[in-house]
Structure formats: C-alpha cells, structure tokens
Amino acid sequence: MLLIAGLGNPEAKYAKNRHNIGFMAVDALARHFVFPPYREKFHALVSDGMIGQEKVLLVKPQTFMNRSGVSLGEAASFYKLSGSRIIVFYDELDLPPGKLRMRQGGGLAGHNGLRSIKAHMGADFRRVRLGIGHPGTKDRVTGHVLGDFSQDDAGWVTAFMDAICAHAELLAGGEDATFQNRVHEAMQPFLQPPDTDSGEDS
C-alpha cells in the first residue's frame, strides 16, 4: 500500500485557493486513474485504486491544513506505513509557478500542514513540492496563498496536473528523480521566460 495525500482546506470557498493545489493534484490523480468515489475515513476523504503496479490510498484530510497530521497519522498507523510509503503533495511558495521538486524528509519551511504531519508521524515522508510562486513581500504571503488561482493561471495549472498524472506511475514506483525530471520537461513551455532576442517586433 502506498499513501498519497494532498494538503488543503476542505470548505468549498477554499477549493480554488493556491493553498489547495495539493487537493487539486490528488483529485487529478483520482480522475486520471479512475479511482472510485471518495469515502470518509481517518478524518479525511479517501479512495483506493491502482497507479501502475501499486495499490494506492488517496487521502484528502478534512481537518483543515494546520491539523493535517491528525488524518495522515491515523491512516499511516492503520496501514503500518513507513515514511517511504507516504507521499504528500503541497504548495510551495519558494518555487516558481509550475515547478515541482521532490524531497524526502527535511525542514518544514513554515508550512502549517507539514508542521502538523511531523508532530503526528515524524518528518521522514516523501514530499512533492508544487510551486505556486512568491508574491514578493512577506506581508502579501497570506493573501497570495489563500487567494484563488486567476484565469491567467489556468493554462499552467492544467498542464501541471496533466504532467503529474502522465508520469505518476514513476512516482508510485519509487522513481522520484525521474518523475521530477519528466514533469519539469513537460512544464518547460510554461517555465521559460519569453524570448526577447528573436529580433521580431512584439
């Protein structure tokens, strides 16, 4: 069993927030791999199915972000899962929009969801950091994170979810570095700055 969790806040008003991109990723996986409808368990919405050769439990904690560890701790304990069998998708301010970075263990970077998970089950889990960009100044962070993605964001967010799903079998199979690289390659058109040296009028 592999546990793949997305972090977010459960109420409808938060659904399109940047902070909820972890939920968005798990929902995209559920659709792509045709998982059954979510059911309630472990203070979360869960669904189980297959990604490649791996049996996977998708988890969306319903405890609000700052208590995500309550849900994941219960699920991990129930299935007796170690850190290498737990993957958490979450928003990352310090990565550009559409950038993905893998990590196992490490610091919390001030993320309340990660802090809660560490308190309930330790920090040695696999992390999929989903870049949402930084607003530029500390006083704008809360509004940025809890703000909705704009219409201008729709293209890269959709491409990001598609790339994650297209290469998710690598992630499920433990090939984290290859998964990261494949998603990065798919997102190149959205990550590269405009070419200003073409010599053509803009």
| Catalytic status, residue 19 | yes
Q: Determine the pLDDT at residue 35.
A: 98
Question: Which of the four pLDDT bands, split at 50, 70 and 90, describes residue 109?
Answer: low
The pLDDT mean for the chain works out to 91
Q: Which domain holds residue 60?
A: 2-191
Predicted local confidence at residue 192, as pLDDT? 62
Of the candidates 81, 121, 123, 132, the one whose C-alpha atom is nearest the C-alpha of residue 104 is: 123
Task: Name the active-site residue from 19, 43, 111, 167.
Answer: 19
Give the number of domains in the chain: 1
pLDDT at 201 (0 to 100): 44
Of 20, 107, 124, nearest to 64 by C-alpha is 20
Residue 196 lies in a domain: no
Say yes or no to pLDDT of 195 above 60: no
Pairing of strands 86-92, 126-131: parallel
CATH code of the domain in which 50 resides: 3.40.50.1470
Average pLDDT over residues 168-177: 96
Q: Which of 91-100, 114-123, 162-171, 175-184 has the lowest mean pLDDT?
A: 114-123
Give the global pTM.
0.91
Q: Is residue 200 part of a domain?
A: no
